[in-house]
Structure 1
Amino acid sequence: MPASRRRDVEHQAKIQAPAALAYQLIANVTTWSWIFPTTVHAERLAGDDAADRVGVWTTTDGTINHWVALRRLDPRALRVSYRQETARPPVADMGGTWIFEPRGDRECLVRLQHDYQALDDDRDTLAWIEEVLDRLSTDELAAFQAGAELASARPQRLLTFTESVVTGGSTGDVYGFLRDMRKWVELVPDLVHVEVRHDVEDVQVVRTETLTGHGRHASEVVRVCRPGAIAYRHLVVPPLATVHTGEWRVTSGSDGTVATARHTVVFDEEGIPTVLGAGADLEEARRFAQRELGAGSVAVLNAARAHLG
C-alpha cells in the first residue's frame, strides 16, 4: 500500500524575547537539554552553521529515544528547517521548520511547522499521529517560550561552569572510569550507593545516593556515552533547581589526560529558600550550586586520578 498524502500543520506562540536570540537557541543544539524537559543530549554530528546533521537523545515515561536529523539554517531569514533521517512507523517521513518573526525589539512570533506522511491512510493511525504531533508541538513551544524568555529577561537563573583535573592514565582509561559509575562507590567520598538500571547501546540510567550537608540525596540520571564524552541529565533535582544537565569530557593535554566536568543548572527562585533557608536569594543559590557541584565533580576526578595513578 502506498504512503498517504503529505500533511502540513503549524503551531504558533508569541514570546517575550528577541527573534535573533530565539533563533540562536534553536540553531545551537547544545542549549536544548536545558530548554526542553525531555532532551537528555543533542549534538552536531557533522556540518556547519549553514547545514548540519544533528543527533538527539530524549527520555519520556522511562523510554529513551534517539533520532538524527538533517538541518538547514538561515540566520538572515531566522529559519531552521529539518528532516528526520529515518522516521518511525507509523510515520513514513517527517520534517519541520522553526520560523522566528520579529514583533519589535523584545518580542517575536515563533511558528513551528511540520510536514509528514503516514505509511498508509488508516483513519485511526492518522488520528493518532495528529493527536501526538499536536500534543508534542504544544509542549515543545511552551518549553521553548519559557527557556527563551528566561534567557532574555532573567539569564542569571542559568548557570554553566566547568572544573578540570589532569589525571594519570590514558584517555581511554579515564573515560572508562567515568563511564562505569559502579567503580565510584568505594573511591568517591559521600557517594553511598550506585545502581545501574539500564546500560544499552551507550545509554545508561543510573540511580545514586549521596550524603550532603543537607542530608541524604537520591538522584536518577540518564547518561549518553559518546566517544570521549558522557552527557547526562538528572531526572530528580533539588527544589532550588528545575534543570541540572552536564557532561564529562576527556582530552589529551600537554601535561597528561585532562578530564573536564561541565554543569548547567536552571534555578527555581521560589524553591531556593526550601534548600538554603528563608531570605536566600539567587546569588546565594548560584554560589552554593557551583561550590557543591564543583566539589562533587572534583572528588570524582580526583578519584579517577588516584585509581589510575
Structure 2
Amino acid sequence: MPGERVHRTAHSVEVAAPAGVVYGLISNAVQWPLFLPPNVHVERLEFDGRNERLRMWATANGQIRSWITRRVQDPQARRIDFRRQHPQAPVETMNGTWTVEERAGGTSLLTLRHDFTVHGDRPEDVAWVELATDTDSGAELDHLKRLAERWTRLDQLVLSFEDTVRVKGPAELVYDFLYRVSDWPALVPHVARLELTEDTPGVQVMAMDSRTADGSAHITESVRVCFPHAGRIVYKETTTPALMDAHTGEWSVLPDESGVTVVSQHSVVLREEAIESVLGEGADLARARRYAREALGRDSTATLNLAKRHAESAIRVL
C-alpha cells in the first residue's frame, strides 16, 4: 500500500552447541511452547517434510495474539523461511528467516531475521511491532541458546507424563467443569485464589494461588486455549514455580461407546540450578523429576476426579 515501507530486524546469538542440535530445536515448532517463552500453543496443520502450515498463539507486548504461519524447512542449509498469513493489525505483512551457521570448535551462530509492514505505517504502530519483535526475538534466542548448550542433559531436564480417569457421564459436563476454571476456588481444594480474564472467547488468561501438600502456597500465571468441539484445553504457565523453567499441559475429554476418558498431560523443563534451593542440599535431578511428577500428578488427578464426580452426579440426579 502507498506510504508503507518494509521494516527489517535481525537478532543473532552465538551458541556453544553443534549446528545440528540448534537446527533441531527451531525445526520442531510444536515444542516451542515448552522451549520458547512467547509461544503459548502451536498446532501443526500441514507438513510434508519441507513445507508446513502452523496455527500459533503467542504473547506480544502483554497481549495474546494468534496467526497462521507457513514455513519452508531446508535442513541441508539449516535455514527456515516463514511467512504469516493474515496477521493481526497493526501488522500488514510479517516474513522472516531462521539460519544456523556452523562455527569452528563445534559452536554455532543462530540468526533470526524479520521483515514487516504496518497498516498506514504510523510511527506508534511501527514502534509497537518493533518492540514486540525485539522482545520476543531476544527471549527466543536466549532460551534456545540455554537449551542447546545443555543438549547432552536435555532429555533429563524435560519431563512429560499423563494421568487418566474414566467417567460414566456426558463428555460435555466433564469439559464444562474443566472450562469453568473461575469456579475452581469453590470446587477444587488446592486452588486458593483464581483471577480470570477472557477477552477473546476461548482464550483464558489466569492467575492462581495453589496450596501444596505441605501447606505452603505458590502463584502461577497461565494462558489457556480452549477447543470445545474437540474436547481439549491446552495451556502454558507464563509464571512458573521455582523448580520449573517451563510448564505446558493439556486437558483432553475423549468419549467412546462406554463412557469418557479424561486425560491430563504435563510437560516441564526443570530448572537445574534451583533444585537444591527448593528441595534441600544434596537433592539431584532424579529427585526433582520425582517431586515434579508427584506434585503435578497429584493436583491434576484430584481435578480429574472432581470433574468425574461432577458429571456422574448430574446423571444420578437426572
TM (norm. structure 2) is: 0.84
CA 1:283–1:303: 2 relative to 1, 3 Å: same
User: Which of 275, 278, 288 is the equivalent residue of 2:291?
Assistant: 288
Aligned equivalent of 1:97: 97
Distance 1:168-1:142 versus aligned 2 partners, 3 A rule: same
- Give the deviation of 1:60 after TM superposition: 4.7
Shift of 1:9: 4.0
Matched, 1:259 2:262: yes
8 Å CA contact 1:244–1:266 kept in 2: the answer is yes
Q: Kindly provide the CA deviation profile for residues 44-89 of structure 1, in whole angstroms up to 9, marking residues without a partner as x.
A: 1334432222122223554222222122223333222111112344
Q: How far 1:294 sits from its partner (Å)?
A: 0.7
Structure 1 residues 62-73: aligned runs within 5 Å: 62-73=62-73
Equivalent residue, structure 2, for 1:229: 232
Counterpart check, 1:10 vs 2:3 = no
What whole-Å deviation, never above 9, does each CA across 1:289-308 have from its counterpart, x for those lacking one? 10110111111111111111
Q: Distance in 1 between matches of 2:225 and 2:280?
A: 35
Gaps of 5+ in 1: none
In structure 2, the residue matched to 1:110 is 110
CA separation of 1:252 and 1:75: change in aligned 2, threshold 3 A: farther
Shift in Å, 1:254: 6.4
The amino acid across from 1:161 in the alignment is: F
Q: Distance in 2 between matches of 1:104 and 1:38?
A: 31
Contact 1:34 1:243 in 2 (8 A): yes
What's 1:43 paired with?
Answer: 43
Cα distance in structure 1, aligned partners of 2:118 and 2:217: 49
Q: Which residue of 1 aligns with 2:315?
A: none
Q: Secondary structure at the match of 1:271?
A: helix
Q: Residues 3 and 118 of structure 1 are in contact (CA less than 8 Å); yes or no, is this contact kept in structure 2?
A: no
- Structure 1 residues 24 and 126: alpha-carbon distance in aligned structure 2, compared to 1, 3 A threshold: same
Give the whole-Å Cα distance in 2 for the aligned partners of 1:126 and 1:178: 39
CA gap of 1:106–1:255, structure 2 versus 1, over 3 A, is: farther
Question: How far apart are the structure 1 equivalents of 2:225 and 2:148?
Answer: 25
Instruction: Report the CA distance shift for 1:169/1:20 in structure 2 as closer, same or farther (over 3 A).
Output: farther
Cα deviation for residue 261 of structure 1 reads 1.2
Q: What is the identity percentage for the equivalent residue pairs of Structure 1 and Structure 2?
A: 37
Gapped runs of 5+ residues in structure 2?
313-318
Q: So what's the TM-score if we normalise by structure 1?
A: 0.86
Q: 1:232 to 1:189 in 2, by over 3 A?
A: same
- Tell me which of 303, 308, 317 is aligned to 1:300: 303
| CA-CA distance at 1:223 after TM superposition | 0.7
Separation (CA, whole Å) in 1 of partners of 2:126 and 2:309: 57
Structure 2 CA distance for partners of 1:74 and 1:183, relative to 1, 3 Å: same
Residues 129 and 220 (structure 1), Cα distance of their counterparts in 2 relative to 1, 3 Å cut: closer
Q: Is the 8 A contact 2:61 2:132 kept in 1?
A: no
Q: Write the distance in 2 (CA, Å) between the matches of 1:131 and 1:208.
A: 28
Instruction: Name the CA distance, whole Å, in 2 between partners of 1:197 and 1:35.
Output: 25
Structure 1 residue 203, shift from structure 2 partner: 0.6
Give the structure 1 partner of residue 177 of structure 2: 177
Question: CA offsets per residue over residues 96-115 of structure 1, 9 Å max, x none?
Answer: 11122333684322222222
Q: Distance in 2 between matches of 1:131 and 1:181?
A: 32
SS at match of 1:34: helix
Shift in alpha-carbon separation, 1:191–1:9, aligned structure 2, 3 A: closer
SS of the residue aligned with 2:56? strand
- Alpha-carbon distance in 2 for matches of 1:237, 1:127: 30
Q: Is 1:18–1:107's contact at 8 Å kept on the other side of the alignment?
A: yes
Alpha carbons of structure 1 residues 93 and 170: separation in structure 2 relative to 1, 3 Å? same
User: What RMSD, in angstroms, separates the aligned Cα atoms of the two structures?
Assistant: 2.8
2:23–2:78 Cα contact (<8 Å) kept: yes
- What is the match of residue 210 of structure 1? 210
Q: Give, in angstroms, the shift of residue 36 of structure 1.
A: 1.6
